[in-house]
């Protein structure tokens, strides 16, 4: 097989893997939307839930830094 043939085969394989992963991501996104919809139906505030999920991804130091900056901004605006 020539170099270009090998590269073409490799490229095709990579593209196909990306396509499969994109399909999985689409399916997972639909599943996540369904869970949020279920939570909303049970009376939970989904905006707050999304914030909690985002915050849980942060390590403690990053979360504390964000909290400190938020408090600083709120204080500067007279909202603290």
Which sequence spans correspond to the domains of the chain? 1-44, 45-80
Which residues are within 8 A (CB) of 50 and not within 5 positions of it... i.e. 6 or more apart? 36
| Rounded Cα gap, residues 29 and 55, in angstroms | 19
Q: Could you give the dihedral angle defined by the CA atoms of residues 49, 51, 56 and 60, in that order, rounded to the nearest 10 degrees? A: -140
Tens of pLDDT, residue by residue over 45-76, are: 999 999 999 999 999 999 999 999 999 999 99
What pLDDT digit, counting tens, does each position of 30-48 carry? 999 999 999 999 999 999 9
Question: Is pTM, for the whole model, over 0.85?
Answer: no
């Amino acid at each position: 097989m020539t170099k270009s043939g090998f590269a073409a085969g490799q490229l095709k394989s990579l593209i196909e893997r990306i396509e499969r992963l994109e399909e999985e991501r689409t399916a997972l996104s639909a599943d996540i939307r369904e869970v949020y919809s279920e939570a909303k139906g049970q009376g939970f505030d989904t905006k707050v839930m999304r914030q909690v999920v985002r915050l849980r991804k942060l390590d403690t130091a990053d979360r504390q830094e964000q909290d400190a900056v938020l408090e600083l901004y709120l204080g500067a605006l007279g909202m603290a």
